[in-house]
Chain A
Amino acid sequence: MTDLITEDLVILDLVATDKVDAARQLAQKLQAAGRVTDLDGFLADVAAREAQMATGMPGGIGLPHARSDYVTVPSLGLARVPAGVDFGAPDGPATLVFLIAAPTGGGSEHLTILAALARRLVRPAFRQTIIDAPDAAAVASYVQGEVGGQ
């Protein structure tokens, strides 16, 4: 199974105007890696999900996500946003943005990994390690290791 996240999917210092822009920049990374086939189609699915309920999470996390026909493999794009970008969380802007892209079909294995990721997001130590990581490769390997993927 393909890794959920690689260093190509990590943006260490993202500057974004708003959450749509942040999601788009991360989605472009996924597209570049061949994980998303149709950028606008995928972003429309993300926006549809975002419209249901804001995905700003406590602890400075933005979590745009979607299950989409345009996703080939389960993927995670991750951006550190030092200046912050508003994802609608009550406790302020997000300084970490996780873009979860899941295919609509397929087995539940990758969904289990995403579930593990979602649980990790709640833990402050997980967030802090990402923030303190020296480079993109370190971020990717840490996250991949944490959620138990190959």
Chain B
Amino acid sequence: MKFVAVTSCPTGIAHTYMAAENLEQAGKAAGHDVQVETQGSAGTVPLSDDVIAAADGVIYAADLEVKGKARFAGKPYIDVGVKKAVHDGEGVIAAAVAAVENAPKAGTPEAAAMAAAAPAPSSSGGGTRNVGVGTKVRQWLMTGVSYMIPFVAAGGILIALGFLFGGEGVVYKTYGSASQPGGMWEGVVYPDIAGGLPAKFLSGDFDAVLSAAGFAGILFVLGKISFFLLVPILSGYIAFAIADRPGLVPGIVGGLLAGLLGAGFLGGLVSGFAAGGIAYAMTRLRVPKGVRGIMPVVVIPLVSVTVVGLFMIFVVGKPIAAATTALTNWLNGLSGSTAILLGVILGLMMGFDLGGPINKVAYTFATAGLTTAIAVQSTGQAQPALQIMAAVMAAGMTPPLGMALATAVRRKLWTEAERENGLACWLLGASFITEGAIPFAAAHPLRVIPSTMAGAAVTGGLVMLFGNELRAPHGGIFVLPLVSSPFLYLLAIAIGTVITAALVILLMSLDAKNTEEIAESEDAIEGVAA
């Protein structure tokens, strides 16, 4: 561990320095790095901000008021007095180690409270920042997002590879099942692709996948499994950031439920915060000594998972199911209205929750129509259902493409991890994997979601205006040959992409100073995680 210490004594010529030497030596002997600021009469050489920032804990071995105490705000500390440091350096170091180990992890409410309780840093102090509630919330979000991003990249690229090697047919070949509701393509029944855990994954019937769709099918299924973990990981690590280890179990289980209930990543945010809050509250409970031992291994996991699980199923899941039904009915009622308006509405839905329940309603609406239209096999005249499918796919491509463009042209607005996710988003967007934008939307929901909705709405409306038709349920640019008027189709996608990128850059820039601050703390989080 790394410690910083401040020593001082009344005369400032003996104890101050003996304590400093003793702490350094005792620290070295115990394998810790101790940097001491001697506030003695020989003048004080202040510790550098870098040293303070890197320190795990602070030792005050000072009999005088510590100068510049605000510099150490928020770090775990012990206050022992100079005499103890002179006489028992080992004991002081051991106590400091214990203080760090028992301290709330950075990023928890208690750490925030410690930081808030400390006096505001003077301008000369430098290097310290007051962490507000909004910043805390975003740090929790970013912790979840930073753990989720690799799943997005792995899953998205595997799915895209599945398309690349297997063509659009890989979708219904791997999902096709006569017993499951879904659409039909070239005489094969396939279920809804947008969410849920396909039964084949649970039964582990990979032979069936292999024989139906070959190696491409396996890649595709691997990608879908990675994607299925998106929301649980997001939720789990948000809760982890809030409550440390106890948050992980209710967070992951809650996130899994959010996925199964079709609540999407927004549901995952809800479960993550709920799980983190409950787990954190439980770790703060004062319990009898006899129970304390089984709190972390039995009581907290049991209670927190139960509470979060019931909450997700009954408080979150039921309304979502009702809303989904209502939205679907509403959309069906809209079928007679203006095609362009319908395209705009579907676009708004696709861009809103990026694979969540609203997105799924729009997508299911389109594939259901596609099934009917293909079953009818009428040719020679414009088919609204095929246009709707085209509009929905295009609108689902613009959110990741727009974010990819935004990270490419305004790199400074994003963290390193976000920029890399932006690179992956080119491929994910091109493959109609709307989920690629989730890391951005989860981290900056109020700035990203309006932007993705706007771009997707314009693209959806344009596709309806151009009258493009699509005969495949999925596939992005891999099914471009199946789209009528492909150039106009690409134009519609490009316009939506630019609108999303421009809008999100504008919204992020409005708060650019804050964003930079967040970026710093994110890098710190990633440093810890690495």
Contacts and interface: CB of A to CB of B under 8 A. Distances in A.
A57 B41 contact: no
Contact of A55 (B14, B17, B40, B42): B14
Interface in B72-95: 83, 86-87
Nearest to B89: A122
Contacts of A52: 10
B17 A115 contact: yes
A49 B10 contact: yes
B13 A53 contact: no
Given A53-B83, A118-B21, A119-B18, A100 B43 contact: no
A112 interface: yes
Contacts, number: 73
Given A52-B10, A119-B18, A108 B41 contact: yes
Interface string B104-116: 0000000000000
B11 A115 contact: no
Given A115-B40, A123-B21, A53 B14 contact: no
A117 B17 CA distance: 8
B83 A115 contact: no
Interface string A36-60: 0000000000000100110101100
A114 interface: yes
Interface in A100-133: 100, 102, 108, 111-112, 114-123
B342 to A, nearest CB: 80
A14 interface: no
A122 B25 contact: yes
Interface stretch (A4-12, A18-26, A63-71, A138-146): A63-71
Given A58-B87, A65-B13, A100-B13, A122 B43 contact: no
A121 B519 CA distance: 47
B500 interface: no
Contacts of A120: 21
A53 B15 contact: yes
Interface in A73-125: 89-91, 100, 102, 108, 111-112, 114-123
A53 B40 CA distance: 16
B201 to A, nearest CB: 65
B459 interface: no
B515 interface: no
A117 B13 CA distance: 9
Contacts of B38: 115
A97 B17 CA distance: 17
A121 B13 CA distance: 12
Contacts of B83: 53
Interface string B10-43: 1111111110111001000000000000101111
A123 B18 CA distance: 10
Interface string B369-404: 000000000000000000000000000000000000
A108 B42 contact: yes
The 4 closest A-B pairs by CB, nearest first: A118-B17, A111-B42, A119-B21, A122-B21
25 contacts: A49-B11, A53-B10, A53-B15, A53-B63, A53-B83, A55-B14, A57-B18, A57-B87, A58-B86, A58-B87, A63-B18, A65-B11, A65-B13, A66-B11, A90-B87, A111-B42, A114-B13, A116-B17, A118-B17, A118-B18, A118-B21, A119-B17, A120-B21, A122-B18, A122-B22
